[in-house]
Chains A and B, each alone.
Chain A
Amino acid sequence: MPAFEYAPAPESRDVARLRASYGIFVDGRFRAGAGEAIKTVNPANEEPLAEVAEAGRADVDDAVQAARNAFEGAWGRMPGRERAKYLFRIARAIQERARELAVLESLDNGKPIRESRDVDIPLAAAHFFYYAGWADKLEHAGFGSRPRPIGVAGQVIPWNFPLLMAAWKIAPALATGNTVVLKPAETTPLTALTLAEIIAEADLPSGTVNILAGGPSIGQAIVDHNGIDKIAFTGSTEVGKAIQRAVAGTGKRLSLELGGKAANIVFDDAPLDQAVEGIVNGIFFNQGHVCCAGSRLLVQESVIDDVIAALHRRLTTLRLGDPLDKNTDIGAINSAAQLARIRELTDAGEEEGATRWSPPCDLPDRGFWFAPTVFTNVSQAHRIAREEIFGPVLSVLTFRTPAEAVEKANNTPYGLSAGIWTEKGSRILSMAGKLRAGVVWANTFNRFDPGSPFGGYQESGFGREGGRHGLGPYLA
């Protein structure tokens, strides 16, 4: 296959309107945090982007108090139809500033601008727009005739979709009349703080949303705070379990969206070219920093050679490099720590006897980078088949019968997502029924929509985000 040469097509960095420093957002205004300021870096070149104020425990107290006041005051008393207008306004403001937010997201996170521009930011706006419309219709949502908000929601989100995860958390909480204290991830606070600016400009009553940058200790302070009624967490299963233990006996409501090790199952009658696109999108989208990534490829034995050959061909055309280049497919790994984790697990894959392959791929000299990697000859006992890698690493296994595919797909403590590739409709429905996963993509993968409930079975967490079901975790 000929290799096409692409001229650089960089998006302008200036569009991000990056500021030298960012404060925390408490009670409707930005201010310095009690913690030490942290430098957030561009993972593509390790250069500092901005100085971000880190919250201290006193700031958490203030934020919770502000949220409580707003809940008992202006926001809590506001009729749903008025809350809706604020949420619509936020959605519109995100759309207006979409390009700025996309560039900022790619700078801070390392993801390709094509993804932040076409996926993260539009979905974040859509999420606010969707939940806006629920705010004055909650009595029709199937949660009783008089659904009530819970109170103050403490929300802790990860670094893989920074703005989108903030939208997933804040929009349903506000639509249902709760108030919010949100902590973005330590390495990706910038778009959440810009969202705080949007919220301030939208004139939400002060204290309705409070956004605190900080590390795990601030997350812990939020989880443990007596003034919080509900915790929503997206992140690793390990931390999720710790949070579930921490809230035991407190009466706090809890929803968890945790890790995954999704099976992407390819049958011999699948349209292979489409399947290969789905496999690539399933595991290399967002550098594999996706909790629902299709990280375990299960291929029917009779077509394994064809699938691997097509996959190798396709991967050699992926373009890794500058996240701000519009032609880039694979961006930077978000942090040095995550890169180390990916290296540890891929090293274990080799040590345990799996066969490693990557396309020819020049990695930039600076920044955090990892080439797309495919492991074949993987057994179910290998760490790379059991543990969430959260990187651009695919583990390939085979099966002979549909029953064996189900058995292998379900052989995991996780249960977030799964994929099925076959032309046979009855097989899709049969497989979809048997896979123990909260989201099943048939002949597609990694699709998201604000109207589509998302969340896991088993150790992938509980509660749903998105759709009518996503209101449930925020209603008493």
Chain B
Amino acid sequence: MRKTYKLYIGGAFPRSESGRSYPVTSPVGELLAHAAQASRKDIRDAVVAARKAFGGWSGATAYNRGQVLYRIAEMLDGRREQFAAEVRAAEGGSAAAAVATVEHAIDRWVWYAGWADKYAQVTGSANPVAGPYFNFSLPEPTGVVGALAPQESSLLGLVSVVAPVITTGNTTVIVASRERPLPAVSLTEVLATSDLPSGVVNLLTGFPAELAPWLASHRDVNAIDLTGVDPADRPALQEAAADNVKRVFAPADEDWHSDPNTARLAAFVETKTVWHPVGV
């Protein structure tokens, strides 16, 4: 049976409010499906959903977030054949390469799942101030993160962008690869069945060039990840991001198959420092 690929906003699977769709083809030009072409209004709806989810997700225990991320890995693992087929359809290449890519994606969720309850330990501190005060610093999530997924790596790249954002308690609105959005849409079915609260991840398909400026200029988005944006197109978005002093993450090209580091976790946290007097 042919599947209908829709958006993922606030835990629901709506079509674009604009009613638009666009054809998605394989690298050799074979029609795979018609994906929803999200609009500015969809972006705004997704940001509302992400903001609504932020309090609960950022307030959840790190253990809880870690278990949810691990659950995502379990669900993905259970559907590895389906995803291997979808990745191969989207990206081409050999069957073995597609399987390896899915395995990497699963491993990425597991890696970040383990970080959820360790990141604050590694980056937080008790600070020895020169006075009768106890003083400590902890990382906290930045808020709602807008993200542009990599254009080439339809599943592993997307997972590598989304997972670190939500590990620390952020919520996100992510725009999938324009040419290869289908594995991302299927991933939202995994997210929806992994105890991830509604609105923590919101995924839009469509034209990044149309959607990114709205995300970059949105006043209720706290940070933006420009991974999937061509360097030539980044300056305008960085400029728009300054309207509300967004944190901007604009990394160099990454090899998604190599081991990740903590840079993506660090990009979307704030350090909070708390003081209290010591006395009797």
- The interface residues of chain B lying within 8 Å CB-to-CB of A256 are 245
B272 at the A/B interface (Cβ < 8 Å)?
yes
Roughly how many angstroms separate A125 CA and B128 CA in the complex, as a whole number? 17
- Do residues A469 and B137 form an inter-chain contact, with CB atoms below 8 A? yes
A151 at the A/B interface (Cβ < 8 Å)?
no
B118 at the A/B interface (Cβ < 8 Å)?
no
- Do residues B127 and A451 form an inter-chain contact, with CB atoms below 8 A? yes
8 Å CB interface, A418-461 against B:
428, 432-433, 437-444, 447, 449, 451-455, 457-461
Roughly how many angstroms separate A87 CA and B256 CA in the complex, as a whole number? 41
Which residue of A439, A459, A469 contacts B244 across the interface (Cβ within 8 Å)?
Answer: A459
Interface with B: A244-252, A329-337, A378-386, which one?
A244-252
A237 at the A/B interface (Cβ < 8 Å)?
yes
8 Å CB interface, B109-130 against A:
122-123, 125, 127-130
Which residue of A142, A443, A451 contacts B128 across the interface (Cβ within 8 Å)?
Answer: A451
- Do residues A439 and B273 form an inter-chain contact, with CB atoms below 8 A? yes
Residues of chain B having any CB pair with chain A under 8 Å = 59, 122-123, 125, 127-131, 133, 135, 137, 142-143, 222, 234-236, 238-239, 241-245, 247, 266, 270-277
- The interface residues of chain B lying within 8 Å CB-to-CB of A464 are 271
Roughly how many angstroms separate A432 CA and B272 CA in the complex, as a whole number? 9
Roughly how many angstroms separate A245 CA and B238 CA in the complex, as a whole number? 7
- The interface residues of chain A lying within 8 Å CB-to-CB of B247 are 462
- Chosen A-B contacts, 5 in total, with CB atoms closer than 8 Å, are A244-B238, A245-B242, A248-B239, A438-B271, A451-B129
- Do residues A461 and B137 form an inter-chain contact, with CB atoms below 8 A? no
Roughly how many angstroms separate A201 CA and B133 CA in the complex, as a whole number? 36
- The interface residues of chain B lying within 8 Å CB-to-CB of A237 are 245
Binary per-residue interface labels of chain A (115-128) against chain B in the complex, 1 for a CB within 8 Å, 0 otherwise: 00000000000100
Find the B residue at minimum CB distance from A442.
Answer: B276
8 closest residue pairs by CB, A with B: A249-B235, A248-B238, A244-B242, A449-B129, A248-B239, A245-B242, A442-B276, A459-B245
Distance in Å from the Cβ of A474 to the closest Cβ of chain B?
A: 15
- The interface residues of chain A lying within 8 Å CB-to-CB of B122 are 142
- The interface residues of chain B lying within 8 Å CB-to-CB of A433 are 59
Q: With A237-B245, A432-B274, A458-B245 given, can you name 18 additional A-B contacts, CB distance below 8 Å?
A: A126-B130, A142-B123, A241-B243, A241-B245, A244-B238, A432-B272, A433-B59, A438-B273, A439-B272, A439-B273, A443-B276, A451-B129, A452-B127, A452-B137, A452-B275, A458-B143, A467-B125, A469-B271
Distance in Å from the Cβ of B203 to the closest Cβ of chain A?
A: 25
8 Å CB interface, A124-159 against B:
126, 142
- Do residues A441 and B234 form an inter-chain contact, with CB atoms below 8 A? no
Distance in Å from the Cβ of B136 to the closest Cβ of chain A?
A: 9
Roughly how many angstroms separate A440 CA and B129 CA in the complex, as a whole number? 15
- Do residues A444 and B137 form an inter-chain contact, with CB atoms below 8 A? no
